[in-house]
Structure formats: C-alpha cells, structure tokens
Structure 1
Amino acid sequence: MVRVLGPDHPETLTARNNLAHWRGHAGDAAGAAAAFADLLEHAVRVLGPDHPDTLTARSNLAHWRGHAGDAAGAAAAFADLLEHAVRVLGPDHPDTLTARSNLAHWRGHAGDAAGAAAAFADLLEHTIRVLGPDHPHTLATRSNLADWRGEAGDAAGAAAAFADLLEHMVRVLGPDHPYTLTTRNNLARWQQQCAVNSGSAG
C-alpha cells in the first residue's frame, strides 16, 4: 500500500487501522496502542483533527492504551476525545455516547469506582432521552451503572438495580437471552455480596 498508493492514501490508512486492530486482538495490546498512535499522527495531518476517522483513531488508541495496562491514560484520552466529540458531533451523537461510556469504564478501572458510577448515571440520562429506555445501549448502561455502584461499596444498591434491570431484560429481550442471563448472574453476585456484608456486620 505504501509503495503503490503512498503513506497518506485512504486505503493505506485503513490498512494501518486493520493491522493495529488485529495486533491487539492477537494479544499485543501495547503494539496496538503504538500502531494507533502512529496512525493518529497520519490521520491528524491528512484528514484533520475533527474528521470522523481521526476521532475513531483517538478512540482506538485510548482503548488499547487501557488494555495495555494504562487505565489512567485511557481515561484521560477518552476525556479529551469526549470534548472533541461533543464539539464536533454534538452531545447526543452515538459516538459521543460511546465516548462517555468508555470514559466511565476506564475511570472505574483506574481506581475511581464512585466516579465511574456517577459518570454512568449521567450517561443513563442521555441514553434514555436519546435512545429510549428499552434500547440495548440503555440496558447496557444500566448494567454498568449497577456494577460500578457495587464496586464503589454499595452492594445493596447494585443488587436492587440489577433486580430492576432484570425485569426490563425479561420484558424486552426475553428470559433466555444471553444478556438476561448475564443480568441474573450479576444480580446473584451482588446479592451474595450483600449476604457476606451482612454476615460480617453481624
């Protein structure tokens, strides 16, 4: 691609993206992050900082930075990306909502469980308003909020949230859907944690 089309051709940039993607999925998260950092430089120079493909490269770089062990760096990168996405795409664009979700996720994995829960609570308001209460992304956001609420120390709140979510899942997806079964598992997990906490208190 580089020899025939040149380093800045759209198909060359796509090949760089795919190489980085599969390098990560082959187990080399650090290599993927480095490759996406290189791709981002090309994308900014060729396409500009606000092009959708540039924003995607930023997202992929942040994602693999987190999987390479730098959760705080991933959170910081998604915070920066979110500012770009809100300005360029608007607060309700699907990619902006995804950036909010990723920021909350990595904030939690960087050690700020309470901050992650707060961020998912804010995101949930957006998703309900934009996508509706029964959209899969809304249900996923409810699940993430409940989980991080538990990780922040509120096991009872997490169990209650998963119990409420389970009713939604059964109604929207059915009792045998994989997401419904995952929700049942999460509910059981936090109920068990409540029991452990109660026993410890006793």
Structure 2
Amino acid sequence: MSSDENNSRRLTSEGAAYAVELRRIVDEYLAAGGGSQKVLAGLLHVSEPTLSRYLSGERVAPLEKVTALQHVLMSVGLALDESEAARLMRLAARAHEASGAPSVKLRYLEGEFGRLKQMHMAALIDLNTAREQLVSVKAGRDEALLRFGNADIELQELGDRIRGLGRALETAREDARAAEMGREQRAALLEENEARLTSLQSYSQSLEVELERQKGEAHQLRADVARLKSEARTDEVVTRWAFYRAFTVPTTQRALDAGYRGDYAEAVAILGSVIEDWDPDHSEAFSLRYNLAMWRGRSGDPAGAVSEFERLLSIWSPESLGGYYGMVRHDMAVWKAEAGDVASAVAELIELLAEREKADGPHAHNTSLTRREVNRWKAALQA
C-alpha cells in the first residue's frame, strides 16, 4: 500500500467529526424510509464498501459525493437546512485539510478553486450590477450603495483567498512530489499534477490581474459613493453596514483561521472580541459560539469552556438546537470534568447516556462516545 493511501486512511479528529456528521445524516435518511445503505451507495455512484469507509472515517468522502448526497436528500424531501449544509461543508474542508494525503488535499483544493472561480464571477456580476444602479441614482440609490459595498469587499476577500489558495496549491505540489510510491506511478502522477497545477496557477495569476483592474474601478466607484452619501444622507445605514462588513466579518475569519491551525488562545482572544456582534438568528452564530467554547477549553481554560457552553444554552432552546443539543451537553460535561467538577460531570453524562440509548440505541456512535466518557470519568473518581 502506498504512503498516499496510508495517509488517506489515517483517522484524524477532523476526519472523525466529518464522518460522524455524514453518519448522522445517512442514518436519518435510512430511518425515513430511504432504502438500504446499498441502495444509497448506488445513488452516489460508489460501492457499498466505499460508502462504509466514508461513514467510518477510514476514507475522507470527496466534496462531489457530499453534493450528490444533498441532491439525494432533496429528491425525497429531506433537504438539509442552510446551517446543516454549511456545517457539513466546513467539516469536509477541515477533514481534507487534515488528511495529510497529497492527492486528497489536491482534489479538495481543485474543487475549492473551482468554487472560488464561480464566486469570483458572481462578484463581478454584482459589481457590474452596482455600477448600472449608480447610473440611475434616483431609481435605487440606497440599494446601489449596499450592493456596491458587498461586491467591493467580496472582491478584496476573494483576492486574499485566491492568493492563499495559490500558496496551498504550491504546497500540494511539493507534498505530491515527496509522497512515496512506485517510480513509474510517481512519474505519471507528478506529470499529471504538474500540468493541472500549472493550469490552475496560470488562471490564478490572470485572476489577480483582473482583480487589480477591478480595484481601480472600485476606487472610482467609492468616490461616487462618497458623493451619493452626502446627497442621500445615508451615513447611519452605510456606517453600520461598513462596520459589520469591514470589521466583524474579517475579524471573525482571522479567529477561525487561528483556531483551525491550532492557535486556540489567539482564536479565543479574537473571536471573543466580536462574538456579541453576531445576531443569534444568523446561520453562523451557533457554530461560532460552539467553536469559541471548544477553543477556550483547548487553550487551557476548561472552566471558561463550561461558561461559554452555558451562555450558548441560554441563547438557544433545546428545540431550536435539535440534534446538536445532545452534542453541546456532552462536550460541556467533559469540560466540566476537565475543570475538576468530576462528580457533577459524571451525573450529567449518565443522564445523557440514558437518553441516547433510548433515542438512538445502545450501539449508535454518539451513544458509544458518551458511554466512553462515563467510564473514563468514573474511573477517575475511583482512582
């Protein structure tokens, strides 16, 4: 077995989280009468053993299979809501990034690059639309201001992400070269990867040139916006929108980047400064608060993690959290034990275990996770 295959089968924590979410979604689909796992594998155009490896975390499911699964769910009226779909794609991205397999990372980066290309085209369309609306100021002045601002900021953010993706593509090429494999297979694969990466890098460079041109146009449009603001007296609306887009969103992204690369203390410091700016009704608000709690614990502050989880549960009811309610209770109890309140944590875990055994069965994955924590902390109490 090649080094690349070994890496793709190594179960990382990110891969495990990704597999757990896939398993939960597939189990709900099967429970709703979607047929057997074998039938689902056929709909996804993979073998049943391959689907089993995706669900166990032995292999990282490609993004195109996640997309195919969402189409299957939509066809039977079980489409994921916006927050579930966003969470699944984030878990997929982290699992691919953490896999360590050059070919897995390369496939993910190629898919992400294609998605960014589509986003870039959409941003250009928004910018052109904003330009047309600015010509007809009397017909839609405020809307033109907001749409231009969105397109301008998205272009700047997209430029940063494209340059970062270019660096990641170069790293993927170096990893692919270093991977151990047969001489003939390695030569063929490197040749193929070189051609694909060269094409992608060429397109990345052309995008950067285009972005520079668009920045020049954006500069002129900003001058027009300043004039229109004075005429329309939209200072308050623009200022509130500009603070959110220019500070809150980029600051949150910096916190997420720090957390995903393991700089938990930095992530907590940055995310904690803007978390209250996020409306609880926003689709990202729950995942941001959940990450803040987990990263606070991983940074060495388990008591702080418990406080963050308690704050989370004060914002969202068990009904609004749905299947994530049990996950939050599980993690909060574990951090409570880490903080030293082992007896209370064990009591909460035992209560959760009974609920999961009744609802999901004694052999379900989430049930097994909670049972393992119960045994671990019971042993700590008796030691």
TM interval, shorter chain, is 0.5 to 0.7
What TM-score results when the alignment is normalised by the length of structure 1?
Answer: 0.65
Indicate the RMSD between aligned Cα atoms, in angstroms.
3.7
1:27-60 CA distance string (max 9 Å, x none)? xxxxxxxxxxxxxxx9xx9995535xx73x6545
Q: Equivalent residue of 1:150, what SS?
A: helix
Instruction: Give the paired residue count.
Output: 165
Q: CA deviation at 1:149?
A: 0.3
Q: CA deviation at 1:153?
A: 0.4
- Unpaired runs of 5+ residues, structure 1, are 27-41, 197-202
Q: CA deviation at 1:65?
A: 1.0
Q: CA deviation at 1:165?
A: 0.9
| Within-5 A mapping of 1:1-202 | 9=155, 12=158, 16=162, 19=165, 50-51=244-245, 55=249, 58-85=251-278, 90-129=279-318, 131=320, 135-196=322-383
CA contact (8 A) 2:318 2:325 kept: no
Q: CA deviation at 1:67?
A: 4.1
Q: Provide the residue aligned with 1:33 in structure 2.
A: none
What TM-score results when the alignment is normalised by the length of structure 2?
Answer: 0.37
Task: Choose 1 or 2 for highest CA Rg.
Answer: 2
Q: CA deviation at 1:172?
A: 2.8
Q: Equivalent residue of 1:91, what SS?
A: coil
Q: Distance in 2 between matches of 1:17 and 1:58?
A: 19
Alignment CA distance shift 1:94-1:137 (3 Å): farther
Between the aligned residues of both structures, percent identity stands at 30
Q: CA deviation at 1:194?
A: 0.9
- Unpaired runs of 5+ residues, structure 2, are 1-116, 125-151, 173-210, 219-240
1:88-121 CA distance string (max 9 Å, x none)? xx23444222221111111112221111112112
Letter in 1 for 2:381: C
